[in-house]
């Protein structure tokens, strides 16, 4: 992220989007840790597996956001169109949906 060229936008939109991905990645990671902490009594190794999966996803989202930020910056300052964020967007959405179902299964077992 050590770009010395001027930003694409005075409002720092690409930078703010990078930071939004970071806090979302961190939130997913915390969610994975909390799931391990609270679902172990009922789900055991399944809880650990799902939690670790969440942590891995969070790490990938965090790192990939930096790569995509550099790419977006290069495209936008180079007069090219903004690259589609659809693949990571869909992956994160699908993962959180799966996580929601896992929470539902946990609730069913715990209640």
Partner 1 sequence: MTEAGRRDDRVDGTHRFPAWVYRDGAEPDPRFSLANERTFLAWVRTALALLAGGVGLEALKIPSLDGPRLAASAALLVLGLLAVVQGWIGWARTERSLRLARAIPGPTLGVVIAVGVLVAAGLVVIGSLL
- As a whole number of angstroms, the distance between CA 40 and CA 77 comes to 48
Q: Where are the alpha helices (DSSP H) in the chain?
A: 13-43, 45-77, 86-110
Structure tokens at 99: 């996580």
**Which residues inside 84-103 make contact with partner 1, applying CB under 8 A?**
84-87, 89-90, 92-93, 96-97, 99-101, 103
- 3-class DSSP state of 80: coil
How far is CA 101 from its chain centroid?
Answer: 18
Q: Is 38 in the site for partner 1 (CB under 8 A)?
A: yes
Residue 4 or 38: which CB sits closer to partner 1?
38
- Chain positions contacting partner 1, by CB under 8 A: 8-9, 11, 13-14, 16-17, 20-21, 23-24, 27-28, 31, 34-35, 38-39, 72, 76, 79-87, 89-90, 92-93, 96-97, 99-101, 103-104, 106-107, 110-111
């Amino acid at each position: 992220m050590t770009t010395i060229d001027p930003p694409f936008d005075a409002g720092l939109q690409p930078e703010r989007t990078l930071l939004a991905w970071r806090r979302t990645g961190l939130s997913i990671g915390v969610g994975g840790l909390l799931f391990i902490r609270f679902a172990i009594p009922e789900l055991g190794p399944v809880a650990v597996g799902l939690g670790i999966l969440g942590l891995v996803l969070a790490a990938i989202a965090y790192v990939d956001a930096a790569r995509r930020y550099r790419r977006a910056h290069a495209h936008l300052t180079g007069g090219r169109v903004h690259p589609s964020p659809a693949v990571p967007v869909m992956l994160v959405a699908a993962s959180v949906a799966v996580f929601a179902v896992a929470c539902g299964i946990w609730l069913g077992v715990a209640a």
